[in-house]
Structure 1
Amino acid sequence: MQLAERLRAHPWLAVACAGALVGITIGLFLPIRAASQSKADEAKWTLPTPASVKRFDEAKYQALRRAPFWGEVKQPGERGQQVAGWSLSGIVTRPSIRAAVTLPGKRETTWVTLGGALPDGATFVAANRDTIWYEKDGCRRARKLYLLPKAQSDACIGAKGEPAAAPSGTPTPPPVTSPAPPPARRPH
């Protein structure tokens, strides 16, 4: 009696139980069939001809080799251009932007202000918390704080006077601006 009263009160419960029972019965007696192979899988695969996969173009290689960002390419055994011998050992942005530069073998640190000359004759043009940007030989370059100079660190990242197209991972120099004065307070 109690079951019949519940089924009358909740007819959706009876329908759900009946549907589950029918689904289980069908699932037990019908086998699962494997999917048939498509016609595309039956096609034979062959290697492409060497002419169709030409990977080397001499003209493009020579154009890349002559690119200015590589510097002068030397033959094996020849010595390349020596890297600037100074390293960046500190950056101060307030009250004025300055960079501490250290020469190898010397203990003293030289402070260079924005627009000043670095030890190799380059001009200090911008700085942020861990990088300075300088211009030398008509080319903009970047140097990271505390890293020893390498040939890659003196690579050209932009023409002098133009916005630098920085390589990936190198932020573009921020514009040099002075902070805005604090807003004036009125007495209450």
Structure 2
Amino acid sequence: MAGLAALLGAVGAIAIDRAAGGQASERRPGAVPKTPAAVDLVDYSAPGFSAGVPRGWRLVEDAKAKGVYTDSTWKAPAPSRARLTIAYRPGTDVRPDTVAGSVRTARSQSPTYAEVAWGPIELNGNTATRWVYGFNGRQYATWTMNPCGTAVAVHGSSRPAEFLRWVPTFRAVAASVRPACS
């Protein structure tokens, strides 16, 4: 009985503290904050583009050839599970909506797919396609562009709980991309 009284007293103290404007910590150790991360980019160059990428993120693939395209991938510091990939393909006139369109068609067949946004936008004075969606338990934001004969796609992804934290960073990276014109 004494244990129950102590537990109820602790719960009451937390409730009173919150009502008085105090903040009881609800963040678990190692949890990813829910507020947007400060956008802090550093320069990165590959043969097909240059861009700003998030400071402190670990480069896990550096201009790795993958068939007709090449990509570079970064991972956010732990405990975040956010990833950023910039893929490019030189010497092509493929339209921005075509770049992501085939992947969109395939993913939209999955019961785990949920589209948030798809369509043309202006990015750096050129037409690009923005695609935001959920798939297989992750959230994705993708921008595709081809202003000068080098198609580039910026893919940011994370767990749903941290997605809004990283979207401003993903968008800033997309805006910083400068394709190497073919």
TM-score (norm 1): 0.26
Higher strand share: 2
Name the larger-Rg structure: 1
